[in-house]
Amino acid sequence: MGSKGFILLGLLLVLSILCHSGHSLQCYSCFNSGGVCTRVSNCSSNLDACLSLFGDVQTHYQCWLFANCNFKHLSEQFGESKLRYECCQKDLCNRSGGTSITGTTVLLVTPLLTAFWRLFM
């Protein structure tokens, strides 16, 4: 395998890391965190969303069932009459300022990898 082969292998390895699939959803998971929530949980297969909930008393970041992401259910579950919440369905999307690699990132990186490959052909 020549140097081009090693370069291609390295690029494919990077791309496979960016496109990891077949895993459960990952969400930030903290209860009343005083600072930034950094604890990550792998959601069970029946939990398909990440929840961020801000009430008068409580703050939650956790895995959640998207079908139960509504004011009535959340206010009953957490005992809050006033709350702000958001449910999302991408890895680590339930924290403001959180970073995750998305399919869009992969689509942007692919042309760069192609150009890099053509440069060494």
For the stretch 67-81, pLDDT in tens is 999 999 999 999 999
Q: Residues, the chain, total?
A: 121
Q: Is residue 2 part of a domain?
A: no
Instruction: Spell out the SS3 assignment of the chain.
Output: CCHHHHHHHHHHHHHHHHCCCCCCCEEECEECCCCCCCCEEECCCCCCEEEEEEECCCEEEEEECHHHCCHHHHHHHHCCCCEEEEEECCCCCCCCCCCCCCHHHHHHHHHHHHHHHHHCC
Please write the tens of the pLDDT for every residue from 61-115.
Answer: 999 999 999 999 999 999 999 999 999 999 999 986 544 444 445 555 567 667 7
Domain tally, the chain: 1
Pairwise CA distance, residues 55 & 63, whole Å: 17
Q: Is residue 87 part of a domain?
A: yes
Q: Is residue 93 part of a domain?
A: yes
For residue 40, give its domain range. 22-119
Q: Is residue 52 part of a domain?
A: yes
Give the pLDDT confidence score for residue 2 in this predicted structure: 62
The CATH number that applies at residue 102 is 2.10.60.10
Q: Is residue 5 part of a domain?
A: no
- pLDDT above 90 as % of the chain: 50
Q: Is residue 12 part of a domain?
A: no
Pairwise CA distance, residues 71 & 68, whole Å: 9
Q: Is residue 9 part of a domain?
A: no
